[in-house]
Structure 1
Amino acid sequence: ELNPEDLAELRTLGEIVSYMQSKVSAAPAPAAESAPVAAVSSTPAIDTDYIQKVMMEVVAEKTGYPVDMLELEMDMEADLGIDSIKRVEILGAVQETIPDLPELNPEDLAELRTLGEIVSYMQSKVAPTAATDSAPVVVTEIVAPAIDTDYIQKVMMEVVAEKTGYPVEMLELAMDMEADLGIDSIKRVEILGAVQETIPDLPELNPEDLAELRTLGEIVSYMQSKVSPTEPTPPGAKANIPVAEKATEASADFQGAPSATVELTALSSINKIVQDVTQQGGANALIVDDGTGAAVALSGKLVKAGWNVIALKPNWLNNEGKVNSKKTFAKSVNVIEIGNRDKTLDETQVSDIIEKNEQLDAVIYLQSNNTVDAIEYPEAAKQGLMLAFVLAKLSKVKNATKARASFMVVTRQGGTLGLANNDDSASQVKADVNADLVQAGLAGLVKTINHEWNAGESSVFCRVVDLSAKVAADKAATMISDELLDIDTSIVEVAYDTDNLSNNIGTRLTLTGVATDSYQLTAGESINSDSVFLVSGGAKGVTAHCVIEIAKQYQSKFILLGRSSFDDNEPSWAKGITDEVALKKAAMQALIASGDKPTPVKVTQFVRPVLANREIAQTLNAIKAAGGQAHYVAADVTNSSSVSAAVEPITKQLGEVTGIIHGAGVLADKFIEQKTLGEFNAVYSTKIDGLLSLLAATTTENVKHLVLFSSAAGFYGNPGQSDYSIANDILNKTAYRFKALNPTAQVLSFNWGPWDGGMVTPELKRMFNDRGVYIIPLDAGAKLLVSELAANNNRCAQILVGNDLSKDQKEDQADTAVKKPQVSRLNVSVSKTLLATNNTFLADHTIGDDKVFPTVCAIAWMRDASEKAYPNFYYQGLENYKLFKGVIFDSKSDGSEASDYQVEMNAEAVDGGERLVVDTKISSMNPKGKIVFHYGAQLTLVSQAKICPEANLVIPTTAENAKSLYSNGTLFHGPSLQGISEILECNEQGLLLRCQVPAVAAEMQGDFPLSNNGNQSNIFANDLAYQAMLVWAKKELGLGSLPSSTQSWTVFREVTLNEPFYLQLTVVKSSGKGKQRGALTADIALISESNEVLSEIRSAKVTASANLNDLFLPKALTEKAISEKKA
C-alpha cells in the first residue's frame, strides 16, 4: 500500500513512478499465468518499467491526454490539472492494476510534483525487472418498374376530368392548371394523389419540381420523364384502401380533438458550431439595418470573424427614413440604401443587389424598434416584413458554399415572442403593449421556409431571435452572433427574456404547446341569446359550422359577412340539380344555348355563385332552426368603410355587436421562390386588414368575445404557405395584445389544423394520414370552439387544435423497414459558454466553499450536444464515462466571468447506420493556452427509441426518513438536489431508496431546464444515482466519496416532473472500510412506481477518502469542529 502522505508531496508523473518503483523489491516479474505456491511475507518482485507504463496509461485514461503526449517531467497540477482528489483516484487505479505494489506513504507522495517523481518513488519500492476493428456498409439500389408513357397521359386527363367535372374532350394539354381550369394547390394535390393511386408504380414526384409546372402538358411530360417506355400497363386493381378512408367511418361515441395551450419554455445555452469562414475570400452575409446600432455592432463582429458584409438601409425606418443610432458601419461594409421615393419596397432593386454580388451564405434581417398604440399595423412595418419576404424569395441562400447556409430574423417583441399570460396564470409573462405587431409575421415566414428549405438534399439554418427593445446594441449583436452558430437546428424561435434578468444574458426561451382538454372547461355566463356576433367568412365552410354550434347552445344573434352576393332565386338551368358534376354539365348546356362556347373558366363562373348561394341559405336556415337569428351582408372585409356601412343597419335591429369571429381567409399556396407580392398582399390583407375592418365596425368596450381563426401554419409553419403563416402568426400575437388591453374579454386565436370537410378531400386525407397529421372532425372542432369561448377561465389566448406539425411524420407505407437517419458529418466540434450565474442550482452543489459542476450535468451536456449534432437519432446512453478534471467555480470569484468549453464529437455509424457511437470529450483552454480535458464518454445514439423493460422490485414495509442525510455530512447537496426521501433498505449488498425531485424554480435550472416529455435529461433526478453511492460509502465505509467513472448508463426514459421513483443500488466491489481511503463500484437502477426500469447504470465508481468527510458537513458544523479542535 502506498503512503498517502508521501504521495501528497509528489508533483510530477516521474516522481510518483519513482516512488512506486521504490516500494517493490528487486526480483523478476512473475509470469501472468503463474500462481504463488504459498503465501510469503516478502513483497513480490515487480518490473519497474512496467510501473512506469501503467502509470502513464492510467494518467492518460483519467485525464484524456494521449500517452504519447505525457512526459515524466510534467507537473501533476500545473501541467495536467490533477488535483488532490484526482491524484487519489489515479493512484488507486495504479494499485488496482498492480495489486502487489507495496503500500505507499501519503506523506512521501505529497512532496512529489511531477509524473517522473511519482514513478521514481514507486520504482524505489520495488526492484527493476521484465514485466484491438470496422464493418462495411451495403447499399441497395431500387429500380422503378417501367410504365407506358401514353398511359400516364390518359390517366392524367381522366382524373382531371373526374375531379373538375369537365369532360375529357374539353381538356387540352396546353391548359393552365390554375388560370384555365381553376385548380388550386389543394385540388392539385388531390389530382396527383389520384393519378399515383391509379398508377401505383409511378416513382415519387418531387413537390418542388411540380410547383414549377403550370399546364397539364408540362405535368404529364414530367411524369413521363420519371419512367421508362414499355408495353402499356393495363389499369390494374386500385391500391389498398387508404388509412384515411377507414378512419372516417362513423363512431358511436363522440371523440374530441386534441388541443394545447402555448407556453414559453426555457432552453439550455447554445452549443456553438466551430466554422472557419475565411477560406476563398470569406463568406458573404447580407444584413438589414434596424436603425438602433445593433446591425452596426453585428457587422463589426462578422467582419472580425472573416465575413464580407452587405448592409441594406431601408429608407422607411421610423416612417421618416431616419435612424436612431449615430453609429456608422465600418468602411469594409458595403452599405446600400434601398426603397422608392415614397418609402416603399422596390423588389427589382433588391433583386439587382443580390444578382450583382457574390452568392450569399447568410441573410440576417433586423427589425427596427417601432412602437404602436392599441391594435395597429403600420405601413412602414409592413414594408419591412415584405423586404424579409423578398429576401427569402430571392437570396438563394440555400446554395451557400462558404459557411453554413443561414436565414435569420431578429424581432423586438419584448423578449417573449409576443406571448403574454393572462392575469390568472401561474407564470406571469406580460406583453410589451407597444411593440409593433406586424413583426410577428417574420416568425411565420421563417418557420415556413424552415420546412421548405430543409426537405430533401438542401439544408438551411433558420432562426427567429426575439429581444426586448431595451437590450443595448452591443449585447444584442453578441446574442445574434451566438445564435447564428447554434448547432441545434430543431428550434426555430428563440427569445431572451431580459426583463426578468437572473444573469447577464437573460432566460433563453422558446414556444411550446402544452396539452389541454378543451372539452372539460367550466362554462361561464358571458354568452346568451342577447349576444350579437359579427362573423367574417361565417356563412360558409367550417366557420359556418362553428356559428351553427353556438346557435344550438345559446340561440345567439349573428351578422354573417361574406364576399359573395346573396340571391335566393336560382337560375332555371340549376334548379333541382345537386350533384356538382351534373351542375357543371347543365352550365355547359346553358352556355351553348346562349350561343357561347363553354370553357372551364366560363363554366366555373356560372356554377360558383349557385353553390355559394346554396351554402349561405343552408347556414341561415340552420341558425334559425337552432333558435338563433342571422343576417347575411355582402362586403369586402378588407374595406373598412364598406364593412361598417353594411353592418350598421343590422345592429339597429339586433343590438350592438358583443363578439367578433374573424374566419375569413384566402390561400395562394406556392413555395417562397414562386410567390409574388400581389399574392402576399391578398393573403395578408384578408386576415390583417379584415380584422381592422371588424374592429372599426364595433365599439371595443362592448366586445366581450374575440375569436380569430388562425392556423397551425401560424404556429408551426407549413410548406407553400409563407404568406398565410405570416398573417396568422400576426393574428396570434394580436390576440395576446387585445387581451392585455382588454383583460375582461374572452380572447381566443385558434390555430386550426386541417378540418374534415370543405377543401379536405379523400386524397388529401390520405396525404395527411401518411404524414401523421390529425384531421379535425367538424363536430369536434365546433364543440371545442364553443367550449373555449364560453369558459369562465380564458387561460390562454392561443389554442392549438390538432397534433404537432413541426415535423413531417411521413413514412413510406410501401416499405416496412425503418428509414435510417442520414448523418451529414461524423466529426463535430461545438463550443459553449458556461456561467455559474446562469446556473444558480450550483449553489446547492458546493464542496467546501467552491461550486462543483455535477457529473450528471456533464453527461447531460454531452447528450444535448450529440442529439443536436446528429438530429433524428435518440440518446440511448453512454459507456466509459470518465471525469478527467472537474469544472469548479472558485468561491473567490463572483462567478460572472464566462468560461468557454469545447465539446468534440467523433461518431462511428454501426449496425448498418441504425446506431451511432459518439466518442465525446469536453475540454477547455487554460490561461497558458493548453488544452485541459474535463469529461469524456462514448455516447450511443439510435434511430428508434427503446421501451422501458419491466423491473422485479419488492418494496419493504419499513422505511427510514432520509432528511438527515443532507445535514449529517453524508451528503453535501442543497435544497434543489435533495430528492432522496426514504431509505428502504441498506446493507453490505446494496441500498434501496424512495425518491422524488423537489420543485425547482425555472430560474434555477439554467442550462439544464426540466421538461415533462421524458426525452430530456433530468439532472436533478439523475444526480440522486450518484448520491446513492455516496450514502452507501458513508454508511458502510465511513468515508466521503465523489464520482470518478461509469462503465455504462442506459436510458429508456427520463424521470418526469413530480414523478416519485425508486433507486436500487447493488454493490459490485468495495474497499477501504476502516481506512483513510477506499472505493466503491456499484450497479444502479432508476425504477418507476409502476415497475418500469427508467435507467440502468453499470459499474459506476466513486473514489472515497476520509479527507472528504469534513468537506461534506454543513459550513456551520465544520466551523464548530475546527473551533473545538483548536480549543
Structure 2
Amino acid sequence: MPGLWDGAAVEIMDDGTGIASALAGRMQAAGAQARAVTAISAEADAVIWLDALKTISTDEEALSVNRRAFEAAKMVAAKMAQQGGVFVTVQDTGGSFGLADAPASRSVWTAGLTGLVKTAAREWPKAAVKAIDLDRTGLTAETAADRIFRELAEGGPEVEVGLQRGGSRVTPVLELDPALAARASGGNSGAEERAVLLVSGGARGVTAAAIAALARKERPRLILLGRTPLEEEPAVCRGIADDAGMKRALLEQAKAEGAVIGLAELGRRVQRIVMNREIAGNLQTLRELGAEVVYVPVDVQNAEALREALRPIRAKWGPVTGIVHGAGVLADKAIADKTIEQFDYVFDTKVGGLRTLLAVTENDPLTLICLFSSVSARSGNAGQADYAMANEVLNKCAQAEAIRRGPGCIVKSINWGPWDGGMVSPLLKKHFEQRGVNLIPLEAGTAAFVAETADAGGPVEVVIGGRSADRPTLIEGASEKTWTAELFLPEASLAPWLNDHRIGGSAVVPAAMAMDWFVRAAKAAYPYLDVKRCSNLNVKKGIVVAAEDGARKRLTLTCSDRTDGLAQAWLSFELRGEGGRVHYAADVEMGMERDAIPTEPLPLPHAGIEPWDWQPSDVYDGSKLFHGPAFQVIRELTLSGSEGAEAKLGHDAMTAWSDRDGGIDPAMIDGGLQLSRLWGIRTFGELTLPTKIGSYAAYRPIPLNQPVVCRLQSERRGRYKTVSQLTWLNEQGEVAAELRDVEMHIVPNQEQVQE
C-alpha cells in the first residue's frame, strides 16, 4: 500500500492483546514511522484500526467497535479526502467475512467495519483503504502482526481481503445468478400451515409492497411493526389528495378556531396524514389478498414493549415462524460532516432493530429470517457510511444465523439496489440514471423477494439490482478514480526472473513481467471480472536493477480506473521509477466474460519456409539470447521463413515459477518474444528487443506439463523495426493466448539498456 513509508505518521489503534505493538515494531524495522496508540489523532497520515481484535465479552462491546471506528474515520476524514493517506481496519470474522467460515458469535457485530472502508474508498479517492478479516485461530500476537504486515507490504489493491488459518488469502467476489428469474416465477414455499411473520417496516414503502407480493402467494398472518401510530385524520382533509390542498384546509380550520400553526408543524401534520393513509391502504390491500394482519405501532428497538404487544397475538395465532426486517432510516452526509448522533440514529435502527427481533423470538420456531440490507453494504456509497456499516452487520449476522439454525430455517440478507415504481422521486431517479444505475421495477423486485424467501438452498447474502436489455445487473453507477500501489524489486540473486534476465550484464525487468503485474493488479481491483485483453504495452525505459547499494528498488504503479458499475472496467496503468520516470504503460480491459475464442489459429506463412538449423543449446549460449534457465522455454525450433516462424515451447523445473494463477505465465510469453528476436537474427542478422505490444489476450490456460506450439507471423517495417503476431497453441491445436502487433526494435550489439 502506498502512503505507509517516507515519514508518514502511522497510528495503530491498540488492541490490548499485543498485536498493535508487534505490528508497530515490524513496520519500524521496515522503515515506517509507526506507533501503537490508544486514540487516533488528526495528525495521522495512516490509520491501522485494530480495535476489533480486542477481547470482547458482550454483544454491546462488539457493537461499540463500529461507533469508535466511525469516530476514528471522522477524525481523519478531511485530511484523507484532501491529501490522501491510508485507512485500514482489521477484524476477525472467520477470515472470509463470514462467507466461508463461521465467525465467532460476537464478532459478527463488528462486521460494519467493511462498510465503513468501502464507503471511505468512495469519499476519499486519493486515499488507500483496506478491510482485512484475519482469522486469529492459533496465532500469537507476533504471528498475527506479521500476517497483517505482509498484507500491507505485499498485498494488492483489493479493498476486502480475508487472511485465513493456514495462510491462505481470499477476497469476496460477486457471482451473477442466472437462476434468479426462474426462482422468481416459481410457486410458494410449500408450507402446510399459515406462517406467522413479524415484519418491521412492513406497513409502508418497499417492504409493504414485498409483503403484499408474498401475501398473494401464501396468505400469511402478519404482525406489522411501525413507528407511526394510526390516527383518524382531520375531517377537513378527507377527500383532499394533494399536499397544498391539505395545508390550506388545516390553515383555514386553525384560523376559524383562532389558533396559529407554524410552517414546520403544518408540514408534520400533513406528513402524518399521508403516512396514515399509506398504512391504512396497505393494511386493506393485505386483507383483501387473504392475509390476516395486525399493525403494532412500536419502536422496533424497544424489546420490552414489543414483547408485551406480542402476548395477545401469540395467544391467538401461536408462535412467530418468521422475521422480515425492513425498517431503516437515512441521514446521508460525508464521513467528515456526519454527526455521531446521526450515525447512531441510522446504525441503531437497523442493527438494534435486528437484535430486538431476534431477542423477542428466541424461543419461537423460526423457519424464515429475511433481512432487507442494501447494496451500499457490498459496494459502499458516498454519504452512507452508517447505512453501509449497519447493513454489513445484517449480512454477517445472517451468515451466522444460517449456520446456527441449520437447514430448517431459510436465512436471507438481500442487498437491494434502488427501487422504481413510485419508491424513488423523479429527481432521484434522474440522478440514478445519470450514474448508470438501473432501478429495480416494483413487480420484479417483489417477485425476487418472494423467490428468495422460498429458496432454501441458495446463498445467504444476495445482491439484487435493476436490469437493462443489453447488460447484466448494475449495482452501482459508472465511476472514475486513480489509485496507486508500490512495488519493491527483490535482490536479483534471489529472484530467478531477474537474475536470469540480464542484458549487458545487468539484471533488467522483462517486458512480460511488467505486463504480468498490470494483469494481476487489474484482477486484484476487480476480482469478479475477467481480463479480456492487455493493450498498448509500451516500453518507455528499461528497468535496470542496480546492485551496488543493495537497497530494494521501489516502483510506483498508477492506475486510471474507469468502470460502468459491474459489467466492464477499463484500466490504464503506468509503472514509474523513484524519480517519476515512466518505464512501462499499458491498458487493461475487463468484462464479465472474455471475448470469443478464435476458432482458426494464426496460419504459418508458406513463403520460404524451411526447418531451422539451430538447436536450443545454440541460441541459449549467449550469442543470440541473453536468457538464463528461468526463461529457457524453447524446446525445439521447428520452422522458419521470410514471413514467420514456429517453435515448440515447454516448462521444466527451472521455469515452473512462471506458472501462477491470475497472471500471464511470463516465461512462456517471453518465449514468444524470444522467437521473434531469433527470427529477426536469422532473417536480417540484427539483434532486437521488444518496445511495444499491441495487445495480449488469453483464452485458456497454457499447459504446464505439455508442449506448446508458438507460431509467429512477422514483417519488417522500416530500417529499425519488426512487427509480429504470435499465437500459442496447445496439443489439441486450440488457441491458448495471442500477442498482436509486437514491435521489436534493433539495438546495438552491446545491448546496453539505459534506465
Could you tell me the TM-score, scaled by structure 2's length?
A: 0.72
Confirm whether residue 387 of structure 1 aligns to residue 49 of structure 2.
Answer: no
Separation (CA, whole Å) in 2 of partners of 1:450 and 1:660: 33
Q: Residues 559, 907 of structure 1: CA spacing in aligned structure 2 closer, same or farther, 3 A cutoff?
A: closer
The residue type paired with residue 359 of structure 1 is E
Q: Residues 918, 291 of structure 1: CA spacing in aligned structure 2 closer, same or farther, 3 A cutoff?
A: closer
Confirm whether residue 441 of structure 1 aligns to residue 112 of structure 2.
Answer: yes
| Structure 1 residue 654, shift from structure 2 partner | 2.9
Counting only pairs closer than 5 Å after superposition, residues 682-1081 of structure 1 correspond to structure 2 as 682-699=345-362, 702-744=365-407, 745-757=409-421, 760-802=424-466, 809=479, 830-831=487-488, 856-861=512-517, 864=520, 876-880=535-539, 902-903=554-555, 918=574, 938-941=584-587, 1009-1010=661-662, 1018-1019=663-664, 1045-1051=689-695, 1054-1055=697-698, 1065-1066=712-713
Q: 1:415 aligns with which of 86, 90, 95?
A: 95
2:636 counterpart residue number: none
The residue type paired with residue 288 of structure 1 is M
Separation (CA, whole Å) in 2 of partners of 1:396 and 1:917: 27
Confirm whether residue 521 of structure 1 aligns to residue 174 of structure 2.
Answer: no
Q: Show CA shifts across 1:1029-1062 (max 9, x none).
A: 8999999x99xxxx995343222x7435689999
Counting only pairs closer than 5 Å after superposition, residues 410-489 of structure 1 correspond to structure 2 as 410-416=90-96, 418-420=97-99, 429-434=100-105, 436-454=107-125, 459-470=126-137, 471-484=139-152
Q: Which runs of 5+ in 2 are unaligned?
A: 467-472, 498-508, 526-532, 546-550, 561-569, 604-615, 618-630, 632-638, 651-655, 717-721, 747-755
Confirm whether residue 276 of structure 1 aligns to residue 10 of structure 2.
Answer: no
Could you tell me the TM-score, scaled by structure 1's length?
A: 0.50
The residue type paired with residue 209 of structure 2 is H
Separation (CA, whole Å) in 2 of partners of 1:684 and 1:949: 43
Confirm whether residue 398 of structure 1 aligns to residue 79 of structure 2.
Answer: yes
| Structure 1 residue 944, shift from structure 2 partner | 12
Is the Cα–Cα contact under 8 Å of residues 116 and 389 in structure 2 kept in the other structure? yes
Separation (CA, whole Å) in 2 of partners of 1:1005 and 1:525: 54
Is the Cα–Cα contact under 8 Å of residues 711 and 727 in structure 2 kept in the other structure? yes
1:610 counterpart residue number: 273
Is the Cα–Cα contact under 8 Å of residues 419 and 442 in structure 2 kept in the other structure? yes
Is the Cα–Cα contact under 8 Å of residues 81 and 124 in structure 2 kept in the other structure? no
Separation (CA, whole Å) in 1 of partners of 2:446 and 2:493: 50
Q: Show CA shifts across 1:266-307 (max 9, x none).
A: xxxx7x678421xxxxx4333321011111112224555666
| Structure 1 residue 437, shift from structure 2 partner | 1.7
| Structure 1 residue 701, shift from structure 2 partner | 6.3
Q: 1:361 aligns with which of 45, 69, 81?
A: 45
2:606 counterpart residue number: none
Is the Cα–Cα contact under 8 Å of residues 410 and 465 in structure 1 kept in the other structure? yes
Separation (CA, whole Å) in 1 of partners of 2:271 and 2:678: 83
Separation (CA, whole Å) in 1 of partners of 2:381 and 2:269: 33
The residue type paired with residue 51 of structure 2 is Q
Q: 1:594 aligns with which of 257, 261, 264?
A: 257
Q: Residues 594, 868 of structure 1: CA spacing in aligned structure 2 closer, same or farther, 3 A cutoff?
A: same
1:289 counterpart residue number: 14
The structure having more radius of gyration, on CA atoms, is: 1
2:160 counterpart residue number: 493
The residue type paired with residue 174 of structure 2 is G
Separation (CA, whole Å) in 1 of partners of 2:668 and 2:729: 12
Is the Cα–Cα contact under 8 Å of residues 1068 and 1083 in structure 1 kept in the other structure? no
Counting only pairs closer than 5 Å after superposition, residues 130-279 of structure 1 correspond to structure 2 as 275-277=5-7
SS at match of 1:513: coil
| Structure 1 residue 694, shift from structure 2 partner | 1.3
Confirm whether residue 531 of structure 1 aligns to residue 195 of structure 2.
Answer: yes
The residue type paired with residue 726 of structure 2 is I
Counting only pairs closer than 5 Å after superposition, residues 561-710 of structure 1 correspond to structure 2 as 561-567=225-231, 569-699=232-362, 702-710=365-373
The residue type paired with residue 477 of structure 1 is A
The residue type paired with residue 537 of structure 2 is L
The residue type paired with residue 546 of structure 1 is A
SS at match of 2:373: strand
Q: Show CA shifts across 1:1-58 (max 9, x none).
A: xxxxxxxxxxxxxxxxxxxxxxxxxxxxxxxxxxxxxxxxxxxxxxxxxxxxxxxxxx
| Structure 1 residue 637, shift from structure 2 partner | 0.3
Is the Cα–Cα contact under 8 Å of residues 320 and 366 in structure 2 kept in the other structure? yes
- Over the aligned positions, Cα root-mean-square deviation in angstroms equals 5.5
Q: Residues 570, 937 of structure 1: CA spacing in aligned structure 2 closer, same or farther, 3 A cutoff?
A: closer
Separation (CA, whole Å) in 2 of partners of 1:690 and 1:510: 29
Separation (CA, whole Å) in 1 of partners of 2:264 and 2:257: 16
Separation (CA, whole Å) in 2 of partners of 1:1024 and 1:1006: 8
Separation (CA, whole Å) in 2 of partners of 1:493 and 1:474: 22
Separation (CA, whole Å) in 1 of partners of 2:648 and 2:254: 82
Separation (CA, whole Å) in 2 of partners of 1:438 and 1:1006: 42
Q: Residues 1092, 410 of structure 1: CA spacing in aligned structure 2 closer, same or farther, 3 A cutoff?
A: closer
SS at match of 2:113: helix
Q: Residues 581, 952 of structure 1: CA spacing in aligned structure 2 closer, same or farther, 3 A cutoff?
A: same
Separation (CA, whole Å) in 1 of partners of 2:162 and 2:493: 21
| Structure 1 residue 686, shift from structure 2 partner | 1.3
2:59 counterpart residue number: 378
2:726 counterpart residue number: 1084
Separation (CA, whole Å) in 2 of partners of 1:785 and 1:724: 21
Confirm whether residue 554 of structure 1 aligns to residue 215 of structure 2.
Answer: no
| Structure 1 residue 390, shift from structure 2 partner | 1.4
| Structure 1 residue 465, shift from structure 2 partner | 1.9
Q: Show CA shifts across 1:419-456 (max 9, x none).
A: 22xxxxxxxx22223451222111212222222233xx
Q: Residues 1090, 469 of structure 1: CA spacing in aligned structure 2 closer, same or farther, 3 A cutoff?
A: closer
SS at match of 1:578: coil
The residue type paired with residue 199 of structure 2 is V
Is the Cα–Cα contact under 8 Å of residues 371 and 414 in structure 2 kept in the other structure? yes
The residue type paired with residue 387 of structure 1 is R
Q: Residues 866, 901 of structure 1: CA spacing in aligned structure 2 closer, same or farther, 3 A cutoff?
A: farther
Is the Cα–Cα contact under 8 Å of residues 445 and 722 in structure 1 kept in the other structure? yes
Q: Residues 668, 582 of structure 1: CA spacing in aligned structure 2 closer, same or farther, 3 A cutoff?
A: same
The residue type paired with residue 101 of structure 2 is K
| Structure 1 residue 494, shift from structure 2 partner | 2.1
SS at match of 2:457: coil
SS at match of 2:131: strand
| Structure 1 residue 949, shift from structure 2 partner | 11
Q: Residues 638, 553 of structure 1: CA spacing in aligned structure 2 closer, same or farther, 3 A cutoff?
A: same
The residue type paired with residue 23 of structure 2 is L
SS at match of 2:206: helix
| Structure 1 residue 574, shift from structure 2 partner | 1.4
1:1096 counterpart residue number: 740
Q: Residues 758, 285 of structure 1: CA spacing in aligned structure 2 closer, same or farther, 3 A cutoff?
A: farther
| Structure 1 residue 603, shift from structure 2 partner | 0.9
SS at match of 2:121: helix
